[in-house]
Amino acid sequence: MEDKKWGFIDKTGKVVVPLIYDEVGHFREGLCWVRKDKKWGFVDKTGKVVVPLVYDYVRSFSKGLCGVNIGGQIGSYDVVEGGKWGFVNKKGVSLYPPPDF
C-alpha cells in the first residue's frame, strides 16, 4: 500500500504521534526518527517535531547526539552513499558539522 502512514498510539488507543509519516523508527533517548516526503527528523513522545525534517538520512540518538546526512542517497542495505555527515543534539542544534553543512 503506497498510501499507508505511520504514527503512534498509546495503550488506550489515543493517537499521540499523528499518523502522517511515511516511516517511523523506535524511541531512543525519548526521541523517534520519522520520515515524510523523503526527509528525516525526530519527534518526541507527544508528537512534537524536535529535530526538523530537513535531512536526507539520520541515525538514532546515542549519548545525546545523532548523525545526520545532507545530500546522500540511500543505497543497497540502507547504506548512505555520498553527502555530508554532521551531528545534532536532542534540541536539533547542529554540532560538529562538516564543511559546507
**Cα separation of 77 and 12, whole Å?**
36
| Residues 23-45 pLDDT 10s | 999 999 999 999 999 999 999 99
**Is the pLDDT score of 99 beyond 60?**
no
CB-count exposure of residue 70 (10 Å: 0-12, 13-18, 19+): middle
Any idea which residue has 562538516 for its cell? 98
Domain boundaries of the chain, sorted by first residue? 6-95
User: Residue 41 and residue 70: Cα distance in Å, rounded?
Assistant: 12
11 pLDDT higher than 80: yes
pTM of the model: 0.86
